Structure 1
Amino acid sequence: MIDHVGINCANYAESQRFYDAVLGTLGFSRQLDVGPAIGYGRAGKPTFWISDAPAGPNREVHLAFEAADEDAVRAFHRAAVELGAEVLHPPRLWPEYHPGYFGAFVRDPDGNNVEAVWHGA
């Protein structure tokens, strides 16, 4: 169900030190570091992300749900649009994340960044 979760951090450097240490005790480590965001996980799969967002309206929670295929991502997007959700990114490939990453992003009624993702495109 849950593919990955992301939080925004007011003090990015402090959060990096904190999560490097505490997640390391659980066997998790940095899997991807793209500057303003770091993905922690195991075996090359980042499942928990931290992002640099010191203040402002972009300090939302990001939650990604695992989809079965591209059609499921598109269905998620259509359902959200029909319910009046703000579209952050329509369904598309995201090669900057990794080859085959296909996702769509919307805002839920509380303003959170909610995504459906399929990794097999």
Structure 2
Amino acid sequence: MIDHFGINCADLDAATTFYDTVLATLGHTRLKEFSDDQGHGAIGYGTTKPDFWISRFSDDLGPNREMHLAFSAPDAATVRAFVEAAVGLGAEVLHEPRHFPEYHDHYYGGFVRDPDGNNVEAVCHRVAPE
């Protein structure tokens, strides 16, 4: 059901030190890192794939920062159905369903906001690039 989960951190360096240390005790390591021009970054932890992500958030989000939750989908059609169902309920689309080769070659996902403003995704890891 759950593919991966992510939280936003006020101090990514402090959070990285914390999660590098505590997750190592559970056998997990830092597996992937992304950064952008604005100094935002994301770090993925896991054992075989990044299941838990931390990222820097914008200072203007206030105390209730959004979280990211990705649900597993069996195929691209299900990802599209997930987004269509959310839109039918009035959800904002963050990213239309598509391939995300920057994540990996077979990553197909669609992202929406839930009623509380969280970034919710459906993702399939078995879709060949178009």
Relative to the length of structure 1, the TM-score reads: 0.96
Partner of 1:41: 46
Q: Which amino acid aligns with 2:57?
A: A
Q: Which amino acid aligns with 1:41?
A: G
Partner of 2:38: none
Supply the distance in 2 between the matched residues of 1:52 and 1:107 (Cα, whole angstroms): 18
Supply the distance in 1 between the matched residues of 2:45 and 2:104 (Cα, whole angstroms): 15
Partner of 1:115: 121
Relative to the length of structure 2, the TM-score reads: 0.89
Secondary structure of 2:60 counterpart: coil
The correspondence for 1:87, drawn from 79, 84, 93, is 93
Partner of 2:21: 21
The correspondence for 1:97, drawn from 88, 93, 103, is 103
Q: Which amino acid aligns with 1:92?
A: R
Matched residue count: 120
The answer to whether the 8 A contact 1:86-1:106 is kept is: yes
Deviation at 1:56, TM superposition (A): 1.9
> What stretches of structure 2 of length at least 5 have no aligned partner?
36-40
